[in-house]
Structure formats: C-alpha cells, structure tokens
Amino acid sequence: MQGLSAVGDKGDEAILDVLTLKVGDLHTAVRVHAIEILGIMCPSTFSDSFPDVAVAVRKALRDDSRFVREMAATTLATLSTPGDPGSIQDLVKASSDPESIVRKAAIMSLGMLARTNDQYVIKALTARIHAAADETSEVLEAVHTAVNVLQDNTGKLRQQLKEDAKEKNKEQQQGTGHASYAQQLDDEYRKVSILGKLERKQQASLVASIKSADKVCTSDTVPV
C-alpha cells in the first residue's frame, strides 16, 4: 500500500478514497499504513476538498488499537486545517487516552494545530501536569513543549516543532532511525498469519479425524 504514495499525486481523489476505506480495515497494520499515507497524500491544503478524510482519521482516535490511535493523533497535525475545532476537540480527548504513546502524540499535535494562546487547549494540557504523579516523563515533556509553543506569539517555536516532525517522518520513510510502528505491525501480522495458518491446518486435521471417527462409529453400529 505504500506504493500508492509513490505513484499518485497529492490530492488524488481515487487514491484518497481507497485509503479512507482502508482506515476501517480489519487488520491493524493496514489501518496504520492507511492513516500514515493519508497524512502524506492529503495535507491540510486539501482538507476543504476532502472533508471525509479528516473525519475518518478523527474516528480512528477511538480505534481499539493503540498503534492506530497514535498514528491518527500524529497525522491530524498535518492533515487538519490549523485551528479546526473538531480535530482539536478530538485531540484534547485523546490527550487523556489510557495509552501514554497516544497521549503524547495528541499533545504534540495540539501544539502544532491549535491557535496561539488557545486557552481551552492550554487548560486541557496543563491538567496533565496536575496528574504528574501518575504521568510518564515523555508525556509531561510533550505538555511542556506544546504549552510553550502555544504561548509563543512569535510562532518560531511552532515552526521548529513542525520542522522537527517533518524530519522525523523523513527519517522513518528513508529507513533511518527507529522502525515505524507500521513496520513493526507488519512483522507481527506476518507472524500471526503464519501461526494462524498452522492453527487452521491443525483444526482441519482435527475436524477430519472427528468426521472419520464418526463414520467408523456409524458403520459399526449394529441395527436393532
């Protein structure tokens, strides 16, 4: 599916339709990939033309998989229009997600997406500090960074945050740095698929044995 971003142009309606459908795929790895590529193929400059894309990614913030929720939270920073109320509201909710990787991603995206001095967002983020005893250092660091960005009237910190995010994505796409979650999930999916095939063979063998035994029992039955 990564080939879609290589052969298509940004804003390609046909590809975006396919990717949007894949956000609801049964397999976790596929959903993660779809959201990741949507962030590349449908930047915020196309958001007005393809509103369903942002809606699909926002829904993914409630996905059962933490990997999908994290990717959705990360992608909304580049996919949504800056200051978009719906995306901001959903990201604020995601900043309280049970999984720390999702909370961190949502908080960093809020730093890039929310308007400067947005008190609704700043208040929501600082609430994480009050829960510092139960919070991870990575999430608290993200809160500190995001709040500083939102209170910076010059916009320099926000620009730096966006550039850092772009560089991180570039490294992942080039294969440098840590492997992306999508790649990890691909490996896990392949392992599960292999185990699944073995289990299905064992189940089929067991069913065949049961049927065979049942036939034997039936043929050995002595009529009364």
Rg for the chain, CA atoms, rounded: 23
Phi and psi at residue 211, in whole multiples of 5°? Answer: -65, -40
pLDDT at 206 over 90: no
**What's the rounded Cα separation, in Å, for the pair 104 and 184?**
19
**Of the candidates 66, 55, 4, the residue with the CA atom closest to the CA atom of residue 33:** 4
Task: Return the axis-axis angle of helices 119-130 and 100-113, rounded to nearest 10°.
Answer: 150
**9-28 pLDDT per residue, tens:** 676 788 888 899 999 999 99
Is the confidence at residue 76, as pLDDT, over 90?
Answer: yes
Question: What pLDDT is stored for residue 134 in this prediction?
Answer: 78
User: 75 CB contacts (<8 Å, ≥6 apart)?
Assistant: 35, 36, 38, 39, 57
Please tell me the distance from the alpha carbon of residue 9 to that of residue 81, in angstroms, as a whole number.
20
Name the least confident of 10-19, 26-35, 84-93, 116-125. Answer: 10-19
pTM for the model stands at: 0.71
CA angle at 47 for the pair 41 and 52, rounded to the nearest 5°: 90
- 62 neighbors 33 (Cβ within 8 angstroms): no
pLDDT: is 152 or 114 the higher one?
Answer: 114
Domain borders along the chain are 3-178
Tell me: the pLDDT tens digits for 156-182? Answer: 888 887 787 777 666 555 553 434 545
Q: Estimate to the nearest angstrom the gap between the alpha carbon of 149 and the chain centroid.
A: 23
Q: Which CATH superfamily is domain 3-178 in?
A: Leucine-rich Repeat Variant (1.25.10.10)
Q: Check if the beta carbon of residue 170 is closer than 8 Å to that of residue 152.
A: no
Whole-number average pLDDT of the chain: 78
Is the pLDDT score of 186 beyond 70?
no
